[in-house]
Structure 1
């Protein structure tokens, strides 16, 4: 596989796999260096110990063989060989080797008397007093006894390291055998250079420290990779949901991913606002065109309705003595009045009059509307709950148009609660707007209906014209405000009106 194929394969992998591969490559270099150091150092230590072992083995074997031959030549049974004889013969055999093997300590241990003889020094900087010599032999015996006993019991030579951390001695221990029986144990020891075992100690310490640092770096890196990949997954899931619903914003995140998420959210909000403005513009253009058509139709309908009203008046005068004529003319009058009301609504929608501006209080307008709507609300068993902000400033508005808006919303709310319910009206303000919120506990409005609720002639009522909310929407727009609806089916609906505060 070529370099380009490897690079292309790497790019096709997921972000998680890419990070893991990069991390593995980065960690491989120090790990290989550490493994090489461990192998090289172990080989160095092995060579040093092997050299000392061979040297000590050769010395002990030669002196042990010479001592065994001398003892055997005496013709004494092993159990009758005294400790004094052993120590004397050992001294005669070993003393010639001491001058040529400075730094090596020879010793003999006699199990029957539990005593040792030590010849030579690992390091001899001065002559020792008898007391110091005795103390030295006792310390040597304490440090070496376990190995001596092991060699005696096993009747096998052994190589080991004894002493403390800052004063280590390598020793070769071998039993002295006469006629198949162990009569003593001989050993030779050489002190390790302090630099060797100190450097070995610090080298091991450095290895463990390096391994610990690598482990911490590995844990931290894996945790970072997990955080990054989980954040990217959250972004991917959020963007996927945003594809289906632009109003669904990405979750809050920290770091650079959080900055990306916030930037995407700002873009989504901007797109939502732009989409909303475009919808309002389309609706306004649609309303303008429809208003022109409706105005013409209303004028055409008003003329024949006027003629019908005139003919009914003539019928009342000329045929007043005919039986049943009053019943017929009354029915015609009712239908004419109803059609005349519909025509007036069409004219109000198609040719909205200019607002008659004057200073007014929103709270007073709401209380005035509720006063003449109280009987209807009681009949519908609707309870009204008010939360009016007493600090609302007065605004410039057309009071009659605002009353008509409030009446339309209140009537619709009461009709949405045929079995009674709660109508909550609140007022509040921001720096630039007065906000009126009218919410009910009625049947609610479906999401599909909310998209059409302000469209002219759209209604869910059997006898409705579908112009009430359209006229209300138009009236609020004439005031430079906006009207919105929020609803959950079977849990009620809320109409939010926002009117600008104009000085």
Structure 2
């Protein structure tokens, strides 16, 4: 058997209280009204009785008719059963008076018919109010129950602080939100620790593999150059040698990316002009973008405040984002390089008008070896995120079918008192 819900119990309890209160008020009003009518009927019978005792029977019957429906008159007095009182005229005739309670109640109902209608309306309204109160009380509790179930499933949730809620329920909701935020922070920390452990193990493996590839690759490049010198008189082989050189260079760049990912260099502290970084990036990607019908737009303050960072690493980061944006716009479009600044931080943005990142990869774009291109290594954005974090900042992504926007936020580092490597 399914146990009753709290809302159902509250509805029954509040409805019962509302009905009981309404019936109590109506019952009290009718009881008082009936008492007043009975008192008035007894008073009338006393007055008529005093007159009847002084009159003959013929005249007395006229006065008895004035008692109205509140009294039943019988003669002889006990002909219809027990009576409430007996009256005797001056000539000795007796009448029995019986209080007509049905007539009194009918008169009471007639006098209070509007009150009965209002009472029924009030009764229905009280039931509706009881249901509304039950819903208002249990709604925050149902919301808390739903939030707990979401937390149990490992989902991030925050409950709104509803208006018109009691202080206790509002306080409990606030405590729940604090608990949910704390659990979310712990979940992110735990995920970061797991990710760092995985990256550390992966980095050692990648570094070993890249080192084993780099040495023979360098030897192959040297021998290819020697072979090209000896075969200068064989022009039919020039294309093959050039293709080998291009592929070796591409493989070398891939190995360099693996090593940069596995053994990152700590950033240097250099005084940099943020606009210069964007202008350099615009020149680098602009030469390639013009061939692909891509327009490069630079939006930056004319003289932004300088900051401290590693120029080579930040150039690598921005260039990587710019080249990715170009590859996302194979049919042309607009590449926007944007800079916004505050006294506390710098906000770089690289935005394209391509097709966007597939939804299933949005949350994983900064993971190693995750790529949307068949020829990509999946390390560029992972290295870019690490550079941003090494500078005390963060790299985030927003995407839609109409384009992708990468946002790099860097804090303004304090000017170092002594020359040295590394960012604090």
Q: Report the TM-score when normalising by structure 2.
A: 0.72
Residue number in structure 2 paired with 1:274: 186
Match of 1:227 among 129, 136, 140: 136
Match of 1:421 among 333, 336, 340: 333
Q: How does 1:109-148 map to 2 (within 5 A)?
A: none
Contact 2:284–2:319 under 8 Å retained in 1: no
Residue number in structure 2 paired with 1:63: 55
Residue number in structure 2 paired with 1:342: 254
> Which stretch shifts more, 262-271 or 239-248?
239-248
Gaps in structure 1 of 5+ consecutive residues: 1-8, 70-105, 108-155, 162-169, 172-199
Q: How does 1:146-225 map to 2 (within 5 A)?
A: 157-159=65-67, 223-225=132-134
Contact 1:294–1:350 under 8 Å retained in 2: yes
Match of 1:251 among 151, 160, 180: 160
Larger gyration radius, structure 1 or structure 2: 1
Q: SS state of the match for residue 385, structure 2?
A: helix
Residue number in structure 2 paired with 1:491: 402
Q: Residues 328, 43 of structure 1: CA spacing in aligned structure 2 closer, same or farther, 3 A cutoff?
A: closer
How many pairs align?
367
For the pair 1:13 / 2:4, whether they are aligned, the reply is: yes
For the pair 1:308 / 2:308, whether they are aligned, the reply is: no
Q: SS state of the match for residue 368, structure 2?
A: coil
Residue number in structure 2 paired with 1:369: 281
Q: Residues 425, 274 of structure 1: CA spacing in aligned structure 2 closer, same or farther, 3 A cutoff?
A: farther
Whole-angstrom distance in 1 between the partners of 2:218 and 2:354: 40
Whole-angstrom distance in 2 between the partners of 1:491 and 1:61: 108
Contact 2:355–2:402 under 8 Å retained in 1: yes
Whole-angstrom distance in 1 between the partners of 2:154 and 2:178: 15
Residue number in structure 2 paired with 1:288: 200
Contact 1:246–1:268 under 8 Å retained in 2: no
Residue number in structure 1 paired with 2:391: 479
Whole-angstrom distance in 2 between the partners of 1:323 and 1:219: 96
Whole-angstrom distance in 2 between the partners of 1:260 and 1:386: 49
Whole-angstrom distance in 1 between the partners of 2:375 and 2:309: 31
Deviation at 1:401, TM superposition (A): 0.8
Residue number in structure 1 paired with 2:413: 502
Q: Report the TM-score when normalising by structure 1.
A: 0.62
Deviation at 1:431, TM superposition (A): 6.2
Deviation at 1:24, TM superposition (A): 4.3
Q: Residues 322, 468 of structure 1: CA spacing in aligned structure 2 closer, same or farther, 3 A cutoff?
A: same
| CA deviation string 1:293-317 (max 9, x = no partner) | 2222222112222332333344345
Q: SS state of the match for residue 271, structure 2?
A: strand
Q: SS state of the match for residue 162, structure 2?
A: coil
Residue number in structure 2 paired with 1:360: 272
Deviation at 1:425, TM superposition (A): 3.6
Q: SS state of the match for residue 344, structure 1?
A: helix
Residue number in structure 2 paired with 1:262: 174
For the pair 1:459 / 2:371, whether they are aligned, the reply is: yes
Whole-angstrom distance in 1 between the partners of 2:350 and 2:258: 26
Residue number in structure 1 paired with 2:103: none
Whole-angstrom distance in 2 between the partners of 1:319 and 1:399: 42
> Which stretch shifts more, 57-66 or 464-473?
57-66
Structure with more relative contact order (C-alpha pairs < 8 Å, separation 6 or more)? 2
Q: SS state of the match for residue 445, structure 1?
A: coil
Contact 2:294–2:332 under 8 Å retained in 1: yes
Whole-angstrom distance in 1 between the partners of 2:311 and 2:43: 112
Residue number in structure 2 paired with 1:411: 323
Match of 1:382 among 294, 304, 319: 294
Whole-angstrom distance in 1 between the partners of 2:53 and 2:303: 111
